[in-house]
Amino acid sequence: MSPFFDPEGVLRVGGRLNFALLPYQAKHPALLPTKHPFTRLIVEHFHRKLLHGGGRQLLTAIREEFWPPRGRKLVQSVVRNCFRCIRLNPVPAQQQIGQLPAQRVIPSRPFSVTGIDYAGPLYLRPIHKRAAPAKAYLCLFVCFSTKAVHLELVGDLSTQAFLCSLRRFISRRGRPAHIHTDNGKNFEGAKNELAELFSRFQDQSQQNEIATFCSDEGITWHLTPPKAPHFGGLWEAAVKVAKKHLYRQLGSSRLSFEDMCTILMQIEAIMNSRPLLPMTEDPNDLAALTPAHFLIGSSLHALPDPDVRSIPTSRLQHHQQLQQHVQQFWTRWRQEYLQELQKDTRLWQRNEQIVPGRMVILVDEMQPTIRWPLARIESVLPGNDHLVRVVTLRTTRGIITRPITKICLLPSSSMVPNAEDGPASSGGA
């Protein structure tokens, strides 16, 4: 930079712009101390003068008069900690990716741990031509360990209709030990029909009815935190695939109740025949592992088995062969499928800044960002890995529970650099 002192004793940048058609202050801006609070005050002054302009515009305006070393990251620090800029462009909090639940990585009977979700409404062809279209809803059950799915068509949103679909599921797939569902409040912004259904789950009498049924069946019911659909990513992804097949097949046409049940069963077979793993380059690897292998021992779209009635074999040997096939499926599941689950590019760092007393912005998709309300973290709810992903918040309307993806952290006084440590959240230019 070739710094020099001007006649007034100000340390300025020498540079190579002596012959440029620029003002003297632009050719030789005053050199500012890197870690002095005065330097940060100048940057904040220009930031307000430019009506909270972006980092590149801010740095360009500053360098017409001053030259702060490590200026880019100092400017980024000021913009990142500006309260008004955060209010206009809040960034939801993130946390390090957690461990997969034990139910996802431990071999178990298919559907022993099940997730449930609803989709719809689906419009059916009425019995009488002049009648209004009938409504039905898709109830999806997904297995945690094998990703097998079970689809049921539900005629209405009553609790009895849901319990009937659950009874049909138990009769065909066996009794699950644990059932996971979205919290009913997740559907406040969804269709009124689904909001009505899950609001029933919040009603004490309906909860008692469902709890009585589950206790009689020996089922433990689990709810995800409110406003946290990503906690149920397994069944959300399955619903997305089922709806894609359904809408591509039907378009705008309307089927009868029986025809819709048939279509859903075919979609169920297709989803249960999807490979759990990508096919390898090995020419001997002809059969992809699918959820159907854990349900019936082969793909639902596989060719019929050859006639083996002429082969002399005892029932015990045949049973042992079937057991061997099942064990081979679980061996491939353990050696190949679990390794695929290990891969994840979202390697976020641990977020240790989510602590009680911290001020945050509460995400509200129904409002513009400038009107998102403020809240204070009342308490944190760490998971088994001691990382915080759910918090309770104190708002003007009371205490609520939200995942950290629905809050945006506001800068605290400890995050703003001072003269001793310099711009902690900034770096070199």
**269-305 per-position pLDDT tens digit:** 888 888 877 766 665 655 677 888 888 776 665 444 4
Average pLDDT over residues 22-45: 84
β-strand pairing of 359-362 with 220-223: unpaired
pLDDT, average across residues 40-53: 88
Q: What is residue 167's predicted lDDT score, i.e. its pLDDT?
A: 86
Question: Mean pLDDT, to the nearest integer, of 382-391?
Answer: 84
> d(Cα 308, Cα 318) in Å, to the nearest integer?
11
Q: How many Å apart are CA 186 and CA 190, to the nearest integer?
A: 8
> What pLDDT, on the 0 to 100 scale, is given for residue 271?
85
- pTM of the entire structure? 0.64
Tell me the pLDDT tens digit for each residue of 233-249.
888 888 888 888 888 77
Q: What is the mean pLDDT of residues 126-150?
A: 84
Q: Which of 83-92, 154-163, 313-322 has the lowest mean pLDDT?
A: 313-322
Confidence of residue 149 (pLDDT cuts 50, 70, 90): very high
How far apart, in whole angstroms, are the C-alpha atoms of residue 423 and residue 75? 10
Confidence of residue 426 (pLDDT cuts 50, 70, 90): very low
CA distances from 204 to 161, 178, 207, 211, 222 (A): 18, 21, 5, 10, 16
The Cα-based distances of 5 to 63, 147, 193 in angstroms read 18, 72, 74
Average of pLDDT values for 95-118? 83
Looking at the predicted structure, is the pLDDT value of residue 198 above 60? no
Q: What rounded mean pLDDT belongs to the chain?
A: 76
- Specify the range with the lowest mean pLDDT, choosing from 86-95, 162-171, 271-280, 342-351: 342-351
Question: Residues 216-234: what's their mean pLDDT?
Answer: 77
- Cα–Cα distance between 248 and 253 in angstroms, integer? 11
Question: Distance (Å, rounded) from C-alpha 227 to C-alpha 231?
Answer: 9
More confident residue, 217 or 365: 365
Higher pLDDT, 163 or 216: 163
Q: Higher pLDDT residue, 7 or 240?
A: 240
Cross-sheet strand order for the sheet of 113-124 = 149-154, 134-143, 113-124, 178-181, 220-223
Q: Apex CA 281: angle with CA 280 and CA 284, to 5°?
A: 85
Q: Where are the domains of the chain?
A: 4-88, 102-272
Supply the pLDDT for residue 164: 85
pLDDT score, position 141: 94
CA–CA dist 340, 322 (Å, integer): 26
- Say how many CA atoms lie within 13 Å of 63 toward its Cβ: 16
Radius of gyration of the chain (CA): 30
pLDDT at 52 over 80: yes
Nearest CA among 26, 3, 25, 30 for reference residue 14: 3
* Span 400-428, average pLDDT: 62
Q: Is the pLDDT of residue 193 over 60?
A: no
Helix axes 192-202, 159-173, angle to 10 degrees: 80
Pick the more confident residue, 327 or 400: 400
Q: State the pLDDT confidence band at 143, using cuts at 50, 70 and 90.
A: very high
With beta carbons less than 8 A apart as the criterion, state whether 181 and 221 touch: yes
| pLDDT on residue 140 | 92
pLDDT (0 to 100) of residue 221: 79
User: 180: pLDDT confidence band, cut at 50, 70 and 90?
Assistant: confident
Reported confidence tier of residue 97, pLDDT bands at 50, 70, 90: confident
Percent of all residues in the chain with a pLDDT value above 70, rounded to a whole number: 73
Q: CA-CA distance, 16 to 2, in Å (whole number)? A: 9
- CATH class label, 102-272: alpha beta
Residue 405 has pLDDT above 80, yes or no: yes
pLDDT at residue 214 greater than cutoff 70: no
Structure tokens at 399: 């205490």
* DSSP E strands, 15-154: 30-31, 66-67, 113-124, 134-143, 149-154
What region does 326 belong to: left with phi over 0, alpha with psi -120 to 50, or beta?
A: alpha
**What is the CB neighbour count within 10 angstroms for residue 91?**
10
DSSP track, 73-108: HHHHHHHHT-HHHHHHS---------PPPHHHHS--
Contacts 24+ apart (CB under 8 A), 264-269: 264/138, 264/151, 264/152, 264/153, 265/151, 267/151, 267/242, 268/149, 268/150, 268/151, 269/300, 269/301
Closest CA to 66 of 32, 109, 15: 32
Strand 11-12 and strand 4-5: the pairing is: antiparallel
